[in-house]
Structure 1
């Protein structure tokens, strides 16, 4: 088995495993409107964990993501599919991108297209999305590839978002010539690929960290006498 085949096999197994663990169905919860034309909202798991955060034109949000409605399975499949393709890669940029992927990936897809038909097509296309590298001005940068199409001349184009190596944040999506992307088989063939178990644990780690970040433990305010007797047990916010 080549390294590329090892990666593909790992992704398939990780995808199946995480699909079984995914807490579905998600539902849509609107946040307070920040302006009259924008709508912020979250995709929330049955346990109340925010799984994706989006802010769109109000008309687009209401059309694609009606408040309190259940999120369709292909949306969850898309997020899991991307996570499974990301987790086996050890490069720092891709590892740093996992928290962004888990909360901001669908926002990126909406930046690529506002068309309902194209959005549905992108989410249901098993070939996408995938992590890669793109040649920009002679420098190869880590990126996500969202979609590929042909322009009016018949040349192949790809919609991508570059990943900041240090923070893992997405850049704004852009269109590039498909020829600027690395040969995926050769590139993955040269990468260090984690095992299935390691990749699953990587996703679990970041999902758990995300879950913990949304839970805050509230402690009862101690009395002054309790604080004096047990100064390390609690803190006083005010006297």
Structure 2
């Protein structure tokens, strides 16, 4: 007599491919249909599974646990709060400003800007005594120094964010306060990847250099997933991992 293995009933099961979604088992094979995983406060366990089908052509494809309740326990993912993110941002800006100050000093940008500022102050003092002619304005060297300072800050902050996000999934400030940046829906330990790191890193640097950092950050206080504009553009979110 031939023993025929019993197929599990059709239904939604945790995706054996390892994603955070559920995949539909039609009673014979895995389908291409997926859905977001339902959440329950408590998982319900019954008898262990009696059958382990595999999807054709996919090595190590998993088992529909029809002996377990289909809804799984809630994941331990926690979205990073606004104040933790603000603290991490302050730490990052302190680091970047310190390095930027050293670079502008070494390249002569600071000296050029300060000299132009001193000339302007002297011209204003003279004008205040005589009131002759229009109010003096800073000369072109002042604006050139300000432009170079902004460009250096943008490039430095952008490179800093991209490198740390791409390699570690977090900036130094985020690491210090227990935050990590991931693609939306990914687990905290998932690697971010270079494409979202570049988009998020450069956009965040642009908003900061253009003095729009406050507007960008406010979105993290009021959006559903605590996302900034740069998070929304790059498809990322920030999680609290400790």
Q: TM-score range by the shorter chain?
A: under 0.3
- Structure showing greater Rg: 2
Give me the TM-score of the superposition, normalised by structure 1. Answer: 0.26
Higher strand share: 1
Higher helix share: 2
Give me the TM-score of the superposition, normalised by structure 2. Answer: 0.26
